[in-house]
Amino acid sequence: MDEPRNPAHGAASVLEAARLVLERDLTLALRRRGQLVQPLAFFAIVTTLFPLAISPELSRLREVAAGVLWVAALLASLLALEFLFREDAYDGTLEQYALSGQPLTGLMFAKTAAHWLLTGLPLALMAPLAALSLGAPPGSLPGIVASVAVGTVALSLIGSIGAALTLGIRRSGVLLALLTLPLSLPVLIFGARASELAIHGESCVAPLELLAALAVLGITLAPLAAAAAVRISLE
Amino acid sequence: MREFLDMGGYAAFVWPSYAVTLAVVVLNVVWARRSLARSRAAARRRLAAGGGDA
Amino acid sequence: MSWTWFHRLASPPHIYRLAQRLTPWFAWPAAALIVAALYGGLVLAPPDYQQGDGFRIIYMHAPSAWMSLMVYTTMAVAAAVALIWRMKVAHAVAASCAPIGASFTFAALVTGSLWGEPMWGTWWEWDPRLTSELILLFLYLGYMGLRGAIEDPQRADRTSAVLAVVGIVNVPIIHYSVTWWNSLHQAPSVMRLGKPQLSTPMLVPLLMMLLGFTLFFVAVLLVRVRGEILVRERSASWIREALST
């Protein structure tokens, strides 16, 4: 069997179990690289649409760059949520996690962390390309990367709740969007503001701190809600 | 009376607001009663079909 | 401490009968208050010194906005109670709240927009209250969409209850972020007319309308809850009894 080790067996502590879940998800995802690239390609395409729809003038694009970047990132991370639990729900892995005796909350956190490493972080690393193509000055890139990196942490966590709630619903795509997008609104507001300040060459520390606060709140509460939703879906 | 209906020139805003909100109030009564009636009919059918545990 | 009262309270047949008995006690005072407040608001209250008679929209807008939030809070509290104590009746309450709340949120948006035209000169202003109200409508729609998408009624109850609790945690954050966002972009003179200063004859109908709408909510909730209890109850003997009345 070359299936990665299942943490349900003999894991000593929560941390150990969480680490195994994280490793397993990363290993499995790296075997399906095509799936990983999809949200990134989507992000690139959406940011390309705007110059074509608005104007090729960089000075005009710069005005809307922060908003475009963030809406594209929000939609890309929404798209990626499809992969968060789907496979594990089909093949019974989630059920094993729930029965493993380990706190499901910790395992959910590990799964979400893996999801962020596979989608949020790459999005943050791709954001500079998109930002430059929309006329953002090079000096703004650190701020933009930081805002996308922190913001996607919160987005992944909020998304994990939505994905867990829609487990077992066929054709859940639109419903997932309807559930997740209103809850993601604060992330969009603070994230776009941070990027905007960075593009204007001002300090974006204040909105970044608010984004970080959202991420911390998400870390403490979202895995609890996701674990509750997963348990209900297994009943 | 005409003065009252004119609402100091704001008739086009005041009356539609009252109409929409009061329509929502009335519709809530209608919907609630209909939903109860539907549940009662469904329960009656279940009983007739010998449903239920008792 | 004895918990028998709690179980008695939570037992579906008891709640069903209680709801039936209590409905008129809320419905008639609600109707009387709303009619009296309509008279007070449309006839007795003097026009605002700046907005003239346009301010009378407040008697529809503010109570609708109040309902949208109060009903959501009720729904989330009922959902939390239902999750913690596994109370079927509380699930029935939460399920009953959503359509009521969504309809009043819609009314708050429409009246807000109708008020916006004379106040701001536009039908839609991205003002923090209206924006929050719009997001609240999306939250309601998401809740109802999730409930509708799950076929198994027990799973629908419990899953949507988690969403309601998650939603209520987010409502203040959303409202804060929207207010913050608005304060950044607000042009200095958005308001064409000042906010109405409510004198006592203006305020009394408003308070009556708020109370009237609240009682109305309870009355409609009681009717809906009975239906939701019937859907959830499988024991034939008391259903027969409930249907006989």
pLDDT of residue B51: 53
The answer to whether the beta carbons of residues A151 and A211 sit under 8 Å apart is yes
pLDDT of residue C193: 55
pLDDT of residue A17: 86
Query: Do A and B make contact, counting contact as 3+ CB pairs within 8 angstroms?
Result: no
Q: CA–CA distance from C147 to each of A101, B7, C112, C141, C205 (Å)? A: 30, 43, 28, 10, 37
Residues of chain C contacting residue A186, judged by C-beta atoms under 8 Å apart:
170, 173-174, 176-177
Mutate to test the interface with C, among B3, B15, B28 (most CBs of C within 10 A): B28
Cβ separation of A161 and C166 shorter than 8 Å? yes
Cβ separation of B10 and C227 shorter than 8 Å? no
Cβ separation of B17 and C57 shorter than 8 Å? yes
Residue showing tokens 């650190």: A142
pLDDT interval class at C38 (50, 70, 90): very high
Q: What average pLDDT does this structure show over A76-83?
A: 87
Q: Point out the residue among A172, A189, A225 whose CB comes nearest to the CB of C162.
A: A225
How far does A142 lie from chain C, in Å, by closest CA? 22
* A-C Cβ pairs (cutoff 8 Å, strict): 73
Q: What average pLDDT does this structure show over A176-181?
A: 93
Judged against a pLDDT cut of 80, whether residue A193 lies above it is answered with yes
Cβ separation of C223 and B16 shorter than 8 Å? no
Cβ separation of B10 and C216 shorter than 8 Å? no
Mean pLDDT, rounded, of chain C = 87
* pLDDT: which is higher, C2 or A117: A117
The answer to whether the beta carbons of residues C34 and C213 sit under 8 Å apart is yes
- What would the DSSP string read from start to end of chain C? ---HHHHHHH-HHHHHHHHHHHHHHHHHHHHHHHHHHHHIIIIISPPBTTTBGGGGGHHHHHHHHHHHHHHHHHHHHHHHHHHHHT-HHHHHHHHHHHHHHHHHHHHHHHHHHHHHHHHHSSS----HHHHHHHHHHHHHHHHHHHHHH--SHHHHHHHHHHHHHHHHHHHHHHHHHHHHHHHHH--TT--SSPPP---HHHHHHHHHHHHHHHHHHHHHHHHHHHHHHHHH---HHHHHHHHH-
Judged against a pLDDT cut of 50, whether residue A3 lies above it is answered with no
Residues of chain A contacting residue C156, judged by C-beta atoms under 8 Å apart:
none
Interchain CB contact of C159 with A (< 8 Å): yes
Among A202-206, C72-76, C231-235, the range scoring the smallest mean pLDDT is: C231-235
User: Residue A185 and residue A182: Cα distance in Å, rounded?
Assistant: 5
Residue showing tokens 């639990």: A85
pLDDT tens-digit map of C79-119: 999 999 888 899 999 999 999 999 999 999 999 999 888 87
How far does C71 lie from chain A, in Å, by closest CA? 18
Among A14-23, A199-208, B20-29, C196-205, the range scoring the smallest mean pLDDT is: C196-205
Residue of A nearest to C171 (CA): A183
Q: Point out the residue among C145, C150, C178 whose CB comes nearest to the CB of A178.
A: C145
Judged against a pLDDT cut of 60, whether residue C215 lies above it is answered with yes
Cβ separation of C181 and A172 shorter than 8 Å? no
Interchain CB contact of A193 with C (< 8 Å): yes
pLDDT interval class at C186 (50, 70, 90): low
Residues of chain A contacting residue C155, judged by C-beta atoms under 8 Å apart:
168, 232-233, 235
Residues of chain C contacting residue A165, judged by C-beta atoms under 8 Å apart:
146, 159, 162-163
Residues of chain B contacting residue C117, judged by C-beta atoms under 8 Å apart:
13
Angle between helices A82-90 and A104-115 (to 10 degrees): 130
How far does B45 lie from chain C, in Å, by closest CA? 11
User: Residue A199 and residue A127: Cα distance in Å, rounded?
Assistant: 13
The answer to whether the beta carbons of residues C6 and C226 sit under 8 Å apart is no
Judged against a pLDDT cut of 90, whether residue C122 lies above it is answered with no
Interchain CB contact of B51 with C (< 8 Å): yes
Among A230-234, C73-77, C118-122, C169-173, the range scoring the smallest mean pLDDT is: C118-122
**Above pLDDT 70, what percent of chain B?**
93
Residue of A nearest to C176 (CA): A186
Reference C79, options C95, C68, C64; nearest CA is: C95
Q: Where are the beta strands (DSSP E) in A14-146?
A: none
How far does B15 lie from chain C, in Å, by closest CA? 8
Residue of C nearest to A234 (CA): C155
pLDDT interval class at A219 (50, 70, 90): very high
Judged against a pLDDT cut of 60, whether residue C189 lies above it is answered with no
What number is the ipTM of this complex? 0.88
Mean pLDDT, rounded, of chain A = 87
The type of residue at C237 is S
pLDDT interval class at A75 (50, 70, 90): very high
Query: 3-state class of A215 per DSSP?
Result: helix
Q: C67: number of CA atoms within 13 Å, CB side?
A: 35
pLDDT of residue C190: 45
Q: What average pLDDT does this structure show over A9-20?
A: 73
* pLDDT: which is higher, A28 or C225: C225
User: Residue C223 and residue C23: Cα distance in Å, rounded?
Assistant: 7
Judged against a pLDDT cut of 60, whether residue A4 lies above it is answered with no
The answer to whether the beta carbons of residues C195 and B6 sit under 8 Å apart is no
Residue showing tokens 């009619």: C35
Task: Say if residue C170 is exposed, middle or buried (CB neighbours under 10 Å; 0-12, 13-18, 19+).
Answer: buried
Judged against a pLDDT cut of 90, whether residue C129 lies above it is answered with no
Interchain CB contact of A172 with C (< 8 Å): yes
User: Residue C242 and residue C237: Cα distance in Å, rounded?
Assistant: 9
Residue of B nearest to C233 (CA): B52
The answer to whether the beta carbons of residues B51 and C236 sit under 8 Å apart is yes
- Per-residue pLDDT tens listing for chain B (54 residues): 777 877 777 888 889 999 999 999 999 999 999 999 999 998 888 888 875 444
Residues of chain C contacting residue B8, judged by C-beta atoms under 8 Å apart:
47, 52-54
pLDDT of residue C214: 96
Interchain CB contact of C56 with B (< 8 Å): yes
Q: What average pLDDT does this structure show over C185-196?
A: 53
Cβ separation of C53 and B14 shorter than 8 Å? yes
pLDDT interval class at C195 (50, 70, 90): low
Residue showing tokens 């009943």: A235
